[in-house]
Structure 1
C-alpha cells in the first residue's frame, strides 16, 4: 500500500488546491476541532494529532515530505504509542503496531472489525464489490466466502491442482538453468561459471505462471519466451497486477473528502483503469470462450479454477523470496545451511517436491523471516468497525478504519528482542523441532492476517512461497555479481520492493539429468 498525492498533481491543480486549503486555514486557524469524545463516553480516543474541522489532519499529512505510512510511523514514534488515531476528513484512522492490541481487533473483537472501507480503488479492483477480499461485510461477502472456501481453496482442490503447480515448479528450474547457460555454448552442459539471473523476473513470473495455470490451465497468453521464460504478454499481465496492488487502498484524498472523488486529483483512478484494461484484455476472451463451451455442452467437467472462479495475486511470495535470497547472499552461511537441509531431506538425485515441505523447517524459517522483515505493503488491508468499541482501553468510533502496521509489527523490539532489524531465520525454529508455519495467529508478524477477513489461501500461498525458495536454493548455488561484494538491501522509494531487482549469479549444483524435467 503506497500513498502519493502532491507528487502526482499537475502544477495548476496543485496551486488551486493549496489556495483552497489556505483559505480554509485562515477561516478556522483559531478553532481547532476538539477530539471526538462524547461527554458520556468514559474512554478517550487513542493519541493523535488534533484535527481540523471537516478536513481533519489531511493538511499535516499532505504537506509533509514523507509518504503517508512513514508519516504515521513517525507520528506514533513521536507520541511513543502503539496505537494512534488520525482523523482524515471525517474518518478516524486507527494505526496499530502492537501484536497484543492487534489481536484485540482481529481476534477478540473480530465480529466488530470485520468489514472493509468503501474507496474508489477497492470499488474498481473488485468490479463493484463482487469479490471476497474487498467487499464490505454483508450478504455478498458471506456468499463469496462460502464459495471460495468450499469450491476454490478447499484441501480437495489443493490436491487436485498439485500437478499444475509442480509443472510450473519444473518450468522455473528449467528457466533458471537456461539463464545459467545463456552465455555459454548450448552443447556444453558443464558450466563452471554460472550465469546472471534476474531473481525478480524468475520469482514474479513463476508466481504468475502458477496462478495462470490454476485459473486458465495455460502458462502463456501468447507464444511465451525462450526456455520457459515469459513473453511480452505475461510481463505486461504481471506488471498490471502489481499496479493494481500498488494503488489498491493507496492514500487518496478523495476517499476522505467525497466531493473531490470525480476529479482524480492524484491520478490513481486512471492508473487502476489502465491496469484493469490490460488484465481484462487477456482474461475476457478466455472467460467468454469457456462460458460458451459450457453452454454448448462441449465442456462437462472442470479442468482448472476458471471453472470455479478465483482472483489471485502474485505479490507476497515473489517479494518474500526475492528479499530472502538477497539477505542470504549477504550471509552465505544461511544459504549453506538451507542447502544442507535440502540435501539431507531431498538429496541431489531429484528435485524438491511439495511432499518435502513439512520437513523443510529451515527453508520455511527463511521465508517466514522475509515476511517478517520485508512485507509487501506497509499496512494490512483496512478493517472497518461496524459499531462503537473499546480496544486497549481506548474508544474506537463506529466507521473507523483500522490499519495494522506490517512493518512495525514484524520489527517491534518488545516482541523481536534479538536484533529485530537483522535477518535471522533461526529465530523461528523451535527447540522441540516442531513444524514451522508461515502463518502467525498471534500477529507478531502479518503474513496472511487472521479472523473472518483473514486470507483463505494460506495453504496455497505458503506452498507457492516455500516451493519457489526451495527450488531456487536446491537447484542452484548463488553468489553476488562480479562487480559487487554485497547486495544493497535498500527499499524502493515508492514501495517496499528492493530498490533494484535482485540479479545474482546462479550455477547448477545438481547432475545435468536433473534439469531435464520434460
Structure 2
C-alpha cells in the first residue's frame, strides 16, 4: 500500500516536472521568436505594389511592350534589381553586372533552371532539348551531347570548310548586287545578315544551303524566306510575357494570340527539317549512310555502351530546331547594328577597313585564321553587342530554392531576367554609355579582346551552367560576316539620305528600319571569283 502511495506521489511530481519543462521550452521559443522578429529580415527587391491574385498583370497588359515598362519602372525607382509579381510568380529583373555575377557565378547552381511555360514546352516538344529545358536529367544528357559532340574544338575544325563556303557565298551575293546588269549596289544588310546566319547553321546541321532552288544571285529562295521569317517569329514570342505563363489556368485560351503564332511558325520550320531528318535516319538504318557529313549525322550515329542510339528521333528533331533558333539572331543583329553605326561614323569605318587591309591585304578574302589580329573589328562587334543587344532580356533562369541575392530575398520559383540593355548601358560601368565607341573595349582587353565577357558587363554568350555552349561558332559567324562585308566593300548612305536612322523598333531592340546601304567592291574582281 505504501508502495503505491509513494509511486503515485512520484508520478505526480514527474508530471509536474515534465509540464514545467514544456512551459519553459515554450517560453524560450517565444522569446527567441520575438528576438528574431526584431531582427531585420531580407525584403523582396523594390517594385510596384501587386494586386491580389493577379499581381501586376494589369499594369503589364496596359504597358506593352513589357520590357519598356520594366525599364521605365526601374529607372523611376532608381534600382538595378526589381521585383514584379505576375500572377503568383515573382519576376526579378537585373541591370547591374555585380548582381549578375553573383547570380550566374556564385549562385549558379541555385539559378540553373528555366521556367515551365507553354511556349518553351511546345517548341522543345516536351523539354527534349537543353537551352530552353528546365534543370533535370534530360537537360544534363543533352547538354553533355552538345558540349562534347557538336561544339567541341575538334568539331569546330571539322566544319571549317562549310563555314567558309557560306562566307564566300554572302560575298558573292553582295558583289552581284553591285555588278549584275541593273545592279545599283543597294543592299538590304538586314536580309543579307539574317540569311547568312541561317545558311551557316543549315549547312552545319543539315548540309543544305537551299531547301528549294535558291536564287541566281546567291540569295535566298522563296523557301528560305519563309523559313527564316518563321525562325525570327518563334524567337520573338518565346518567353514573351504571355499571360498564361504566369496564370497556367488560362493556357489553351490563347488570350494574347501567342500560341497560334508559335504553332504556325514551328510548323513551317518542321516542314523543312523533319523530312530531311527522317530520310537521313532511314539511310543510317539501311546502311546507305556510313560517313558523317554534318551535325545531323553526328546526332544520329551517337551510341551508348550497348550500341543503342543515345537520342530518339523526336529528340533529334527537337534539338535541330532549337540549335537553329540559337544560332541566327545574335550574329545578324550585331552586324546590322555595327555596320549602321560605322556608316554614320566614317572615321570608325575607315579605321576598321585599314586594320583589315593591314592584316589581310587586298589580294585575298578574310579567313578565320586572321581573327586573332583583327582587334578593332572585334571591338566594333562587341560594342554592337553592348549598345544594341538583340533583345533586352536574356533567357530567364528560375530559383530552385529560396535564397538571398544582393541582400534581397528571392523566393523559390522566381523567374530571374538579366537585362542586356540595362547591363550594357549601366552608367556606373560605362562612360558615355549611349555612345558607340569601340575603343573602350581595346582599353579594357587590349590585344586579348574576345567577344565573350565573363564579367557580364556585356551579355554576349553568358556564363555558367546556362551560358551558351557555342561560343566558338557564334564568334566565328559574327566576326566573319562583319569582316567580309567591311573588307570586301565600301559602304555609303543611300541617295537622298543624310544618315542611317538608329532608332529602335517599338516592340524590341532591333532596328526600327532595316539597314539599307550602298555597297561597292573595293578589291580586284578576281578576288571575288576565287571560289
User: Who is 1:285 aligned against?
Assistant: 275
User: Who is 1:49 aligned against?
Assistant: 48
Structure 1 runs of 4+ off > 4 angstroms? 38-41
User: Over alpha carbons, which structure has the higher Rg?
Assistant: 2
CA shift at 1:257, angstroms? 1.1
- State how far apart, in whole Å, the 1-side matches of 2:162 and 2:92 are: 42
Relative to the length of structure 2, the TM-score reads 0.87
CA RMSD, aligned part only?
1.5
User: Who is 1:320 aligned against?
Assistant: 334
User: Who is 1:428 aligned against?
Assistant: 441
User: Who is 2:343 aligned against?
Assistant: 329
Contact 2:391 2:510 (8 Å CA) reproduced: no
1:343 and 2:374 are equivalent in the alignment: no
Match of 1:219 among 206, 209, 212: 209
Q: Which runs of 5+ in 1 are unaligned?
A: 1-37, 186-193
Q: Deviations over 1:119-178 (max 9, x none)?
A: 111111111111110110000010000000001111110000000000000001100000
Contact 1:112 1:385 (8 Å CA) reproduced: yes
1:414 and 2:465 are equivalent in the alignment: no
Q: Deviations over 1:89-137 (max 9, x none)?
A: 1000001100001111111100000100001111111111111101100
1:156 and 2:139 are equivalent in the alignment: no
Match of 1:458 among 471, 474, 493: 471
CA distance 1:39–1:199, shift in 2 (3 Å): farther
Secondary structure of residue in 2 paired with 1:429: helix
Secondary structure of residue in 2 paired with 1:87: strand
CA shift at 1:445, angstroms? 1.1
User: Who is 1:294 aligned against?
Assistant: 284
- State how far apart, in whole Å, the 2-side matches of 1:315 and 1:151 are: 23
Contact 2:123 2:266 (8 Å CA) reproduced: yes
Contact 2:198 2:324 (8 Å CA) reproduced: no
Contact 1:182 1:195 (8 Å CA) reproduced: no
Contact 2:230 2:266 (8 Å CA) reproduced: yes
- State how far apart, in whole Å, the 1-side matches of 2:445 and 2:124 are: 44
Q: Deviations over 1:392-437 (max 9, x none)?
A: 11110000000110011000000002x1101111111037842211
Contact 1:183 1:195 (8 Å CA) reproduced: no
Secondary structure of residue in 1 paired with 2:83: strand
1:439 and 2:446 are equivalent in the alignment: no
Q: Deviations over 1:371-393 (max 9, x none)?
A: 00000111000000000000111
1:259 and 2:249 are equivalent in the alignment: yes
- State how far apart, in whole Å, the 1-side matches of 2:253 and 2:339 are: 42
Match of 2:491 among 450, 456, 478: 478
CA shift at 1:183, angstroms? 4.3
CA shift at 1:51, angstroms? 1.2
Contact 1:480 1:487 (8 Å CA) reproduced: yes
User: Who is 1:181 aligned against?
Assistant: 179
Contact 1:174 1:517 (8 Å CA) reproduced: no
Contact 2:377 2:479 (8 Å CA) reproduced: yes
User: Who is 2:462 aligned against?
Assistant: 449
Contact 1:406 1:446 (8 Å CA) reproduced: yes
- State how far apart, in whole Å, the 2-side matches of 1:248 and 1:237 are: 17
Secondary structure of residue in 1 paired with 2:92: strand
CA distance 1:251–1:514, shift in 2 (3 Å): same
Match of 2:266 among 267, 276, 287: 276
- State how far apart, in whole Å, the 1-side matches of 2:508 and 2:83 are: 24
Contact 2:202 2:324 (8 Å CA) reproduced: no
CA shift at 1:441, angstroms? 0.4
Secondary structure of residue in 2 paired with 1:395: strand
Range with greater deviation from structure 2 (308-317 or 477-486)? 308-317
User: More helix per residue: 1 or 2?
Assistant: 2
- State how far apart, in whole Å, the 1-side matches of 2:296 and 2:96 are: 39
Secondary structure of residue in 2 paired with 1:122: helix
CA distance 1:423–1:183, shift in 2 (3 Å): farther
Match of 2:116 among 115, 118, 139: 118
Q: Which runs of 5+ in 2 are unaligned?
A: 1-36, 300-319
User: Who is 1:376 aligned against?
Assistant: 390
User: Who is 1:204 aligned against?
Assistant: 194
Secondary structure of residue in 2 paired with 1:284: helix
CA shift at 1:301, angstroms? 2.0
CA distance 1:489–1:308, shift in 2 (3 Å): same
Match of 2:232 among 218, 229, 242: 242
Secondary structure of residue in 2 paired with 1:78: helix
Contact 2:100 2:456 (8 Å CA) reproduced: yes
1:61 and 2:60 are equivalent in the alignment: yes
CA shift at 1:302, angstroms? 1.1
Query: 1:61-210 to 2 correspondence within 5 Å?
Result: 61-64=60-63, 66-184=64-182, 195-210=185-200
CA shift at 1:197, angstroms? 0.8
User: Who is 2:16 aligned against?
Assistant: none
- State how far apart, in whole Å, the 2-side matches of 1:39 and 1:258 are: 38
CA shift at 1:308, angstroms? 2.7
Q: Deviations over 1:16-41 (max 9, x none)?
A: xxxxxxxxxxxxxxxxxxxxxx9998
1:233 and 2:246 are equivalent in the alignment: no
